[in-house]
Structure 1
Amino acid sequence: MSLPVSSSLPRWTVRAFGALGALVSLVGCGGGETKVMSLAELSDRTLTYALTDVDDEENPDAQGAHRFTVSYSVVDGPCSRFADDVTATLNGEPMTVVPGGASEVGGRGDACENSRAYFNYDPGAWSREPVSDLTVQLQDATHTVRLVLQGAKAKRSFTFQGEGTPDKLRVGQTYDFLWEPATEVPGPVSVMIMREGGRAPGTLTATQEGGKVGITIPATTPQANHLLSMEASLAGIVRECVGVASCDGTLFHSQDFVIAVVP
C-alpha cells in the first residue's frame, strides 16, 4: 500500500531532521571574512554531534536521512575554515570533511558555514550489527580531537507490540510501540497522523513509560489510509571528549507507518 503525501506541505519529519541538520549559522561572523584555522586554534569551541535516523515512507533514500555529523560552534569574529590537512574518521572509516567558512546562504553575505565532518551510514548494516560505541577522531598537524559516544552505533526503531500488525489499526483502540534499542529511553515521543491525500497532519496524544509508547486512534478518525509518523530524540552518553572545550548533541529517530484505519 502506497500513500502519496501532498508536496505543498513540508513533512513534519523533514522539519525535525532539518532542525538537527542545520549546520549553517547566520550569526557571529565578521563581515563575511574567512580565517583558516588549525584544530589547535579551534580547541576552545564546542563540538556538536548529530545522529539522524529518518525512516521516511515517501523518500526512504533521502540525502542525509541516515547520517552522523560533528560540527564546530560559530563564535564572534571571522568564519573558521579547516586547514587542508584536516582528516576525520568514524570508527576508523573516513568521514567527508566540509571546511566551512563565509557563506551567502539565505542571501546574507555575513553568514558562517560551520566547519564539520559527516558520515552517511548504511541503516541495513547497522540493524544487523551489534550495538557499539561511536568513535570520532579529527586530526591535523597540530592537534587531535576525539569523541566517544557510548552505545550510539545502533539502528533505532519503533517496534509494534501486541497482537495484529501495524498496517491495520481500529478506531478507539490503544496500541503500543517500543523504542529500540530497549536500553535507551528517548525524550518525549511525538506522534502525528495524516490521511491519504491530506494536507494537514493531526497530533495524537501519546503516553510513555520508558521506551514504551501508547497511542489511541480517536473515534473521529476517518476510515481510510493514513500515514502514522513517530519521532523522538535523546542525548548521547559522552564517554570521551578530548581536544575541544566540550561535546554536546542529539540522537534523533523518526519512522513512518502506512496504516489503514478500520472500524
Structure 2
Amino acid sequence: MHSSSRRCASGVVPGVLVSVGLLSGCGDSLTTEHVDLAGLSDRTLTYSLADVDLFEVPQAPGSHRVTVTFSQANGERCTRLNDGATATFNGQPMKLEQGGVDGTAGRDLCMPTRAIFDYNPDEWAKLPPADARIVIQDASHSVLLTAKNGQAKREFTFDGTAPLERMLRGQTYAFRWTPAGEKLAAAGASLLPEGGVVTAQMSVTKAENRISFTVPAQLGPATHLLTLKGEVDAELTECVGVAGCRGSYFHSQEQVVAVQ
C-alpha cells in the first residue's frame, strides 16, 4: 500500500476509451471532500469524443462516447460533487459520475467528476455535423461548454476512384478525414496479417484533413486488417462557469484488404 502522504496525480488514457483525468492513486487514508458545482469553478473542463469502429467485433463500452471531465483538485484534496446536479448533451440527459474516493481496487483512488453520453454512430452518420452544447448545473452554479461539430460521425474516406479492396506493396494510398475543415493533430495507419500477431506500422504523412502512406514493399501477400486512426483538437466556442475548457475528437476504423 502507498503512504497517505503521496500526492494525487491525474492521467490520460488514449485509444478505444478516450478519457481525460482518469483514476488517481492516493494514500490509504484519503477522504472525500463534498462540494457543490460552484466548488468546481476553478477547474478545467475537458471534452473528449471517442468514435471507434471495429471490424466484425462487438463494440466495447465507450467505443462511441462523449465524455466531459473536471480536472482534479490541487494538493491532497479529493472532491465529490453533491447530489442534485444534472448534465445534458444537446438537451439529452448525460450520466453524471460525481467522483470522490473509491477504495474497491485495494487502495484509495480519487475518481474525477465527469459526465458521459453514449451515442448511436448510425444515427449520427445520417445527420449533418452539429455543435455540441454541454450544460451542467445545480442550485449553486451552471457550467456551459459548446464544441463546434461536437456531434458528428467521423471517418476516413479512401481518396481513390474505386472502393479499396486490395493494396499493392510499394504503392501509396491516401484518405480524407471528415467532417471537412478539421485539421488532423495526429494520425496513424497499420496493417495486421490475418492470423498474425506482428503489426506493420506505416509512416503517415498529414496535410490538413488528408493522410497518405506507402504499403511496405517487404510485406508478405495476404489478407490484412487495415487500421486508420486520427485525432483533432476541438474548437470550443463557449466555456462558462469554469477556469478553462479544452477538447479533442478521436476516431479509428478497421477494414479488411488484400495486400498483393
Identity fraction in percent: 39
CA distance in 2, matches of 1:139, 1:15: 28
With normalisation by structure 2, the TM-score equals 0.89
Q: What does residue range 79-90 of structure 1 map to in structure 2 within 5 Å?
A: 79-90=78-89
Pairwise CA RMSD = 1.9
Scaled by the length of structure 1, the TM-score of the pair is 0.88
2:116 is equivalent to residue 118 of structure 1: yes
1:206-230 CA distance string (max 9 Å, x none) = 2222111112111211111111111
Worse overlay, 121-130 or 212-221: 212-221
Q: Which residue of 2 aligns with 1:4?
A: none
Aligned to 1:103: 102
Q: Secondary structure at the match of 1:97?
A: strand
Give the number of aligned pairs: 247
Q: Is the 8 A contact 2:236 2:247 kept in 1?
A: no
Residue 3 (structure 1) aligns with: none
Which structure exhibits the higher relative contact order, with contacts defined as CA atoms closer than 8 Å and separated by 6 or more residues? 1
Aligned-partner Cα distance in 1 for 2:87–2:27: 25
**Partner Cα distance (1:103, 1:206) in 2:** 41
Q: Which amino acid aligns with 2:129?
A: V
Higher mean C-alpha displacement, 127-136 vs 199-208: 199-208
5+ unaligned residues in a row in structure 1: which ranges? 1-13
Are residues 38 and 29 of structure 1, via their aligned partners in 2, closer, same or farther at CA, if it must alter by over 3 Å? farther
1:79-107 CA-partner distances (Å, limit 9, x unpaired): 21121101000000000111111023653
Of the three residues 37, 48, 51, the one matched with 2:49 is: 51
Q: CA deviation at 1:168?
A: 1.2
Residues 220-255 of structure 1, C-alpha deviations (whole Å, 9 max, x = no match): 111111111111111111111001111112111111
* Matching of residues 32-43 of structure 1 within 5 Å: 32-43=30-41
Match for residue 247 of structure 1? 245
Change (3 A) 1:101 1:127: same
Distance apart, 1:50 and its partner CA = 0.9
1:38-64 Cα offsets, whole Å, 9 max, x none, are: 000110111111110111115352210
Q: 1:71 aligns with which of 51, 69, 72?
A: 69
Within 2, Cα distance between the matches of 1:185 and 1:218?
Answer: 26
- Shift in Å, 1:163: 2.7
Q: Is the 8 A contact 1:241 1:247 kept in 2?
A: yes
SS of 2:88's equivalent? strand
Instruction: Give the structure 1 partner of residue 184 of structure 2.
Output: 186
- Give CA deviations for 1:159-184 in whole Å, capped at 9, x if unaligned: 01213322211112111111011111
The aligned residue for residue 205 of structure 2 is 207
Structure 2 unmatched runs, 5+:
1-12
